[in-house]
Amino acid sequence: MPDILTRRQREVLDVILKYISENGVPPTLSEIRDAMGISSLRGVTDHLDALERKGWLERTGTKGAARCWRVTTEEAPEPEQLAPFASLPLVGTIAAGIPITAIEHVEEHVAVPLALTGNATECFILRVMGDSMIGDAICDGDLAILRAQSTARSGDIIAALIDDEATLKHYVKIGMRIELHSSNPIYAPIPIQHENTRILGKLVGLMRPYS
């Protein structure tokens, strides 16, 4: 019995099965990328490698060759073989330090365990840059999982858009004043001016790639 698939991996497998059914051969990496809306061929190969490890695909040629995959079973995964994951959009890079220009397009979709989202579906991912949140163990390169919302409570860690630039900070109320605070003491608080600032979401989880 092949191993459990994430929903995104199942979607890739479905694309391959459909293409083989219609064309008699497996799709190329570029065809899978275009069908899935994945931004890079590396993202496609990561999914294919995972499907191979889990026993759903078998390589029939050298690595990197076109149409070199064979589906080991045409049976659709049972519901229990689908892990409780959500496919969330990675929408760009967010500054944890000096704000940088926000990237407004989806780079790719990332499979995220629902346990990291609190079962919330309206979530997105931003890549952290810098060290201003290091006191909260949020490091450069981390993937910040945020629940989309436009309000926050004092103390929440939020993604805020200041003019056209995004940053990850603590939302802090001091009397009638609102500031964004880092957890690295070398960075000064950022006062909030409502006319040029909006809250994008609240931090609900964090993922850290080690490669």
Confidence (pTM):
0.59
Return the CA Rg of the chain: 20
Residue 142 pLDDT level (bands cut at 50, 70, 90): very high
For residues 140 and 97, the answer to whether their CB atoms sit within 8 Å is no
Number of domains in the chain: 2
* Residue 118 contacts residue 84 (beta carbons within 8 Å): no
Region for residue 106 given its phi and psi (left: phi exceeds 0; alpha: psi -120 to 50; beta: otherwise): beta
**Same-domain check for residues 115 and 175:** yes
**How sure is the predictor about 165, in pLDDT bands with cuts at 50, 70 and 90?**
confident
**Residue from 31, 25, 38, 18 nearest 68 by CA:** 25
Q: Which of 63, 87, 132, 202 is catalytic?
A: 132
Separation between Cα atoms, residue 151 and residue 34, nearest integer Å: 36
Give the residue with greater pLDDT, 69 vs 82: 69
According to the 3-state scheme, what is the secondary structure of 46-71?
A: HHHHHHHHCCCEEECCCCCCCCCEEE
Which of the residues 21, 30, 169, 182 is marked catalytic? 169
Whether 39 sits among the annotated catalytic residues: the reply is no
Active site residue 173: no
Over residues 8-29, the mean pLDDT reads 84
Range of the domain at 55: 7-74
What digits encode the pLDDT tens for the residues 78-123? Answer: 544 455 667 777 877 666 665 544 445 577 777 787 778 876 668 8
In a shared domain, residues 69 and 91: no
- CATH number of the domain encompassing residue 103: 2.10.109.10
Instruction: Indicate if 124 and 191 belong to the same structural domain.
Output: yes
94 and 170 share a domain?
Answer: yes
What's the rounded Cα separation, in Å, for the pair 135 and 181? 11
